[in-house]
Chain A
């Protein structure tokens, strides 16, 4: 289903969760920071990508590793822009889409069941020139695959990742922002989930100076399910922002969102906006969203805003939870009463906090290395800085 057909089938919704999109860059004014969707983001640190900074940088290397059945095509005709139903609703997304010189299309053929994940790795080699990128991932009917996107090194990146999960397909996309400290990444991801299709998005954010991900999902048919898991760790001065939008555009669809973050150090800032819209047509849906933040030191800020807008009374279940907490004294006391030092106890608690989520990722190839990355991050930070 194309974007137009879907839009036509749905009633217009007067929802602040759903601003009007446009492919036209000029239709999006340069944000000032006062706009609802920008009010948390440190625009000054975006190196102008939200305004007019050129996006033609080439300071990166990309690598691709996939089973033979997976097709990778680079298209320069722009025909894939918006293929998932993405209509940019902010200036960075519109600019990145307009200025991307080509689209990398990764296609998992119909009924293919991949025996190992597809890896796409972007390694930045400089922050001076900003880069626009466009990636399209399509899981054709009844295919089953995991795609891992890795972001490393130093870079200023504005990208759009469009994902189409066709009817009956099962796709997991794991995105790992493991940037160097000076990277800026503003990424938009839109997924369109087909009839009875299953999509899992795992968003892991460790590095970077400013990382902002807008992740949106809608459904082209009934029975689709989306699971979004997020894990982030913000150090001193880091800004990590996740804005999610689950748009229940079809009946009997599901969305399940759990994001967990830890913050440590002066001016570590995380933002989590979880928007869910349940439209009139979307009867019998289920949605749940949860965000938990663990604040490890003073001077950090975790903003967490769940929003649920319901246009139909006929839903199976809808719920949300949001909590920001410090170390639990009772937990630390229990561990320390077993001889475990205070720092080791703190490390265990954070390990457990994330481990709970890592166990849900369901990609065995990755769980171990992610657990190791979390351990490394903890060793680097919690063991040293935490009081």
Chain B
């Protein structure tokens, strides 16, 4: 079971000119096994939503609630959220110089599971995942995200999704900056995850392109810190044809 429930979420970010309100009441429920796509123009607050759910310290929740299977996510620390089953594939993954991918993955897996993975099967698992993501086996000796190409960063995020096996995955523009081959590899990775029992996905994207490979159950148009409209896959088609124009005018 995995249900992520976001209710009337209000978030501000502290800037030099004082606090700035970004999320103005977001309500969204991702039920067991569902994939939701959130689409919206740049600056509409999509990453803010993703970071707020993951607990990034820069974002301050001023109202509303987030629960995962009834547990209060907002009361948890960043790492507790991850251990509770949340995963955020970041739009801009962060470099950690000197820490190898292998070390990082093993440390994360140990933290999530509460015990170290069995050495023999673990190495095999990691290699298999890297291969599926079209990443060279020597990849695991490189420093986390350091000198990775844009595509490698995103594939590395999805490799983590596969290995860490959360309940709910939030993918923040995992598709942007990918060429078509990488997009397919990444989409296959996400689809493999979705095939597992009861996994929720919140797929944040600017473009409709990825929705050809990952079929959402629900599509939400996100404008100016709010869900402007929700619907099925047909909503994505409308966006493909007409863009965000209609929603932007409505938001003003």
Contact = CB atoms under 8 A, between A and B. Distances in A.
A76 to B, nearest CB: 46
B79 A330 contact: no
B34 to A, nearest CB: 22
- For chain A, the bracket of interface size reads 20 to 34
A230 B111 CA distance: 32
A338 B112 contact: yes
Contact of A333 (B57, B95, B144): B57
Contact of A337 (B88, B95, B99, B144): B88
Interface in B99-134: 99, 103-104, 107-108, 111-112
B82 A337 contact: yes
A17 interface: no
A339 B99 contact: no
B241 interface: no
Contacts, number: 84
B43 interface: no
Contacts of B94: 328, 330-331, 333-334
Contacts of B88: 337
B99 A355 contact: yes
A113 interface: no
A339 B98 contact: no
A330 to B, nearest CB: 5
B96 A340 contact: no
Interface stretch (A195-203, A300-308, A342-350, A379-387): A342-350
A233 interface: no
A135 B158 CA distance: 55
A331 to B, nearest CB: 5
Interface in A342-387: 342, 344-345, 348-349, 351-356, 359
Contact of A340 (B56, B90, B93, B108): B108
B9 interface: no
A334 B90 CA distance: 9
Contacts of A342: 77, 79
Given A338-B108, A338-B111, A338-B160, A348 B79 contact: no
B79 A352 contact: no
Given A329-B57, A344-B111, A348-B103, A337 B78 contact: yes
Nearest to B166: A339
A351 to B, nearest CB: 7
B83 interface: yes
B143 A356 contact: yes
A291 to B, nearest CB: 16
* Chain B, interface SS category: mixed
Contacts of B99: 348-349, 351-352, 355
A334 B79 CA distance: 10
A344 B110 CA distance: 11
Which of B55, B93, B111, B112 has most chain A Cβ within 10 Å?
A: B111
Interface in A310-344: 328-331, 333-342, 344
Given A334-B90, A334-B93, A338-B164, A351 B79 contact: no
B107 A356 contact: no
A340 B78 CA distance: 9
A348 B98 CA distance: 9
B47 to A, nearest CB: 13
B54 interface: yes
B79 A353 contact: no
B97 interface: yes
Contacts of B104: 335, 338, 348
B79 A341 contact: yes
Contacts of B143: 352, 356
Contacts of A328: 94
Top 8 closest pairs, chain A to chain B, by CB: A352-B98, A352-B99, A339-B82, A338-B108, A356-B98, A355-B98, A334-B94, A339-B111
